[in-house]
């Protein structure tokens, strides 16, 4: 436990590589107990942190302004750290195969600055075997050191839920693993400094890697089941939310709801598992089927919008559709892998270029990544259709009496409301004569 004791005494430093939605809260949390270096390739992002600005909204500007984290984009500063945590994203390629580029780059950066006696812990979501078979060789090659003799490695999957102010980092049980008993205990002790909920010591690195992709795949499958039900109930003219509310009165109901499944975890992690399974000769059936259902929900909702416009006697190509929300989840600025984009793409097939409103999304990021110019909510007027795509607080607070302000001047039955997250009172809207549809 020599390294742990030196970290507690602030004789050695912790380095967090990757300062996004996972790495930044981790760095801030550890900085309350230890000396921390926060490294990111993006000089722009590092400069925001140095100015006391939290672009992720995970911990807030005040926490950034008060933290002792040494933010840097200079990799040579990592040489002064002995405990390295890699928290970079693991996206997928266009063919749905894993993109390990960010992990490879991070491993090279750590390797170039690795010193004897260090521990490297990976938090990035990967399929079983990546840490030992992919990352360790990179660390050894770039450092000239030998794993197991000069440095050790572990894996602790991130479990941060972006935008969640209740289930925060410190309150979520942490899975930890190490390449041997010594590294496992060192890693567990370091994480126990900040994880109030405690840690679970996995039997091996591969077990910890598998646990991460499985827990997100399980959630993905459950949501896919609800999405499939929603599509069937739509044909049956049955309200899915009413069915779920009735079902949830049973004590062991799982309380999943239909919706868009995007983001950097649930919408991606199952493909990592599928990829490795197929390499071993097993073709996924349940997990892949769930992915196909969830990946198709944007198109399904887009088609539903078109049908409602037609039933409201709208000229589809001339209809003004306003989409409220484009982040992958509510009250979070993250637009990565947002499935709202699939709705937009579906509408554009019919010649509709929707107006998009999102008070949480970064305007520059939306412009750069998706070529979308965001509009302010108060600027919305003359709409034919409002699509509540993301359940942001701001949209939940929309007063029913003010809905008409967003629409053009015509009868309520020609005012189309598509409520993807079922956040509006259906009965009241239907009583007022609106053309309403929910998933």
What is the mean pLDDT of each successive set of 10 residues along the chain, which is 439 residues long?
90 96 94 96 94 90 95 96 96 90 97 97 94 98 97 94 80 96 96 96 96 93 96 96 95 93 86 90 93 96 97 95 95 90 96 96 90 94 96 92 90 95 93 95
Give the distance, in angstroms, between the CA of residue 427 and the centroid of all CA atoms in the same chain. Answer: 33
The domain spans of the chain are 2-203, 209-295, 296-439
Which residue in this structure is represented by tokens 């493909």?
271
Residue 429 has which token pair? 């809207």
Task: Give the CA dihedral 32, 34, 37, 38, nearest 10 degrees.
Answer: -30
- Distance, in Å, from the CA atom of 421 to the CA atom of 225, rounded to the nearest integer, reads 16
- Identify whether the C-beta of residue 169 lies closer than 8 Å to the C-beta of residue 26: yes
Q: Give the ranges where 32-113 is alpha helix by DSSP (H).
A: 43-50, 61-66, 101-112
Q: Give the ranges where 17-145 is alpha helix by DSSP (H).
A: 23-31, 43-50, 61-66, 101-112, 130, 136-143
Identical fold between 2-203 and 296-439: yes
- Distance, in Å, from the CA atom of 379 to the CA atom of 188, rounded to the nearest integer, reads 51
**Is 0.85 topped by the overall pTM?**
yes
Identify the pLDDT of residue 1: 67
- Distance, in Å, from the CA atom of 1 to the CA atom of 193, rounded to the nearest integer, reads 14
| Topology classification of domain 209-295 | 1.10.1040
Alpha carbon separation from 153 to 20, 105, 248 (Å, rounded): 22, 17, 43
Identify the pLDDT of residue 72: 97
Q: Is 173 exposed, middle or buried (0-12, 13-18, 19+ CB in 10 A)?
A: exposed
- Identify whether the C-beta of residue 334 lies closer than 8 Å to the C-beta of residue 390: no
Which residue in this structure is represented by tokens 């598998």?
210
Which residue in this structure is represented by tokens 């007063």?
399
* Architecture of the structural domain at 2-203: 3-Layer(aba) Sandwich (3.40)
Looking at domain 296-439, its CATH class is: alpha beta
- At residue 167, the 3 state secondary structure works out as coil
Angle between helical axes of 240-247 and 205-236 (0-180°, round to 10): 120
- Phi (first) and psi of residue 389, to 5 degrees: -90, -30
Identify the pLDDT of residue 438: 96
- The one catalytic residue in 147, 265, 332, 385 is 265
First to last CA, the chain: 53
- Identify whether the C-beta of residue 353 lies closer than 8 Å to the C-beta of residue 375: no
Long-range contacts of range 171-175, CB-CB < 8 Å, 24 or more positions apart? 171/196, 171/197, 172/197, 173/197, 173/198, 173/199, 173/200, 174/198, 174/199, 174/200, 175/199, 175/200, 175/202, 175/208, 175/211, 175/212
Told to judge if 385 belongs to the known catalytic residues of this protein, a careful annotator would answer no
- Phi (first) and psi of residue 93, to 5 degrees: -80, 175
């Amino acid at each position: 436990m020599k390294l742990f004791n030196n970290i507690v005494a602030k004789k050695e430093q912790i380095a967090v590589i990757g300062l996004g939605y996972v790495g930044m809260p981790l760095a801030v949390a550890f900085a309350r107990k230890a000396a921390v270096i926060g490294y990111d390739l993006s000089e722009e992002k590092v400069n925001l942190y140095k100015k006391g600005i939290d672009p992720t909204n995970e911990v807030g500007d005040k926490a950034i302004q008060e933290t002792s984290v040494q933010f840097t984009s200079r990799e040579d500063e990592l040489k002064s750290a002995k405990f390295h945590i890699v928290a970079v994203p693991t996206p997928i390629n266009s063919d749905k195969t894993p993109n390990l580029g960010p992990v490879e780059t991070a491993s090279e950066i750590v390797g170039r600055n690795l010193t004897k006696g260090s521990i490297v812990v990976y938090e990035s979501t990967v399929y079983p075997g990546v840490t030992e078979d992919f990352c360790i060789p990179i660390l050894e090659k770039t450092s000239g050191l030998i794993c197991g003799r000069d440095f050790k490695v572990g894996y602790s999957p991130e479990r941060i839920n972006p935008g969640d102010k209740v289930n925060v980092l410190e309150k979520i049980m942490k899975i930890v693993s190490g390449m041997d008993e010594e590294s496992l205990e060192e890693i567990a002790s370091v994480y126990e400094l900040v994880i109030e909920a405690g840690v679970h010591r996995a039997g091996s690195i591969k077990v910890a890697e598998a646990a991460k992709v499985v827990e997100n795949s399980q959630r993905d499958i459950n949501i896919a089941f609800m999405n499939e039900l929603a599509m069937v109930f739509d044909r049956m003219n049955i309200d899915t939310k009413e069915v779920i509310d009735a079902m949830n009165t049973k004590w062991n109901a799982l309380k999943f709801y239909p919706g868009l499944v995007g983001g950097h975890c649930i919408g991606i992690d199952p493909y990592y598992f599928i990829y490795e399974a197929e390499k071993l000769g097993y073709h996924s059936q349940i997990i892949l089927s769930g992915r196909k259902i969830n990946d198709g929900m944007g198109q399904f909702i887009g088609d539903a919008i078109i049908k409602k416009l037609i039933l409201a006697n709208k000229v589809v190509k001339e209809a003004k559709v306003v989409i409220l929300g484009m982040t992958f989840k509510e009250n979070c600025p993250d637009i990565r892998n947002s499935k709202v984009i699939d709705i937009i793409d579906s509408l554009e097939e019919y010649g509709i270029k929707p107006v998009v409103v999102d008070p949480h999304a970064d305007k520059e990021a939306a412009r750069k990544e998706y070529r979308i110019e965001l509009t302010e909510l108060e600027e919305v007027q003359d709409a034919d259709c409002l699509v509540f795509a993301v359940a942001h607080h701001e949209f939940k607070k929309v007063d029913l009496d003010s809905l008409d302000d967003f629409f053009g001047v015509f009868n309520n039955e020609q005012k189309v409301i598509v409520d993807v997250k079922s956040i509006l009172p259906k009965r009241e809207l239907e009583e007022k004569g609106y053309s309403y549809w929910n998933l």
